[in-house]
Amino acid sequence: MDGRAQRLRQARIDRGYDTAASAADAHGWSRNTYASNENGNAPFSYRRAKEYAAAFGVSPEWLYDAAGAMQPAGEATEVQVIGRVGANPDGTVLFALGQDPAELAPIPPGGTDRARALRVVGHSMRGLADDGALIYFEDQRTAPTPDMLGQVVIVETDTDEVLVKRLLRGSRAGLYDLESIAGPMRHDARLRWAAHITAIIPPFQARRIIRGAA
pLDDT class of 190 with cuts at 50, 70, 90: very high
- Which has more confidence, 208 or 16? 208
Looking at the domain assignment, is residue 33 inside a domain?
Answer: yes
Cα–Cα nearest to 121, from 156, 97, 141, 96:
96
Please indicate, yes or no, whether residues 44 and 137 belong to a single structural domain of this protein.
no
| 20-27 and 46-56 helices, crossing angle to 10° | 90
pLDDT at residue 100 in the model:
47
pLDDT in tens, 59-84: 889 999 888 778 766 556 788 888 88
Q: Is 180 left (phi over 0), alpha (psi -120 to 50) or beta?
A: beta
**pLDDT band with cut points at 50, 70 and 90 for residue 189:** very high
Give the residue numbers spanning the domain of 51: 3-65
Q: Which of 21, 40, 65 is the last residue of a domain?
A: 65
Q: What is the mean pLDDT of the chain?
A: 85
Are the CB atoms for 198 and 117 separated by under 8 Å? no
**Cβ proximity of 178 and 184 under 8 Å:** no
Count CA atoms closer than 13 A to 203's CA, side-chain side: 12
Last residue of a domain, one of 65, 89, 117: 65
pLDDT at 123: 78
**Residue 35 shares a structural domain with residue 134:** no
Q: What is the pTM of this model?
A: 0.62
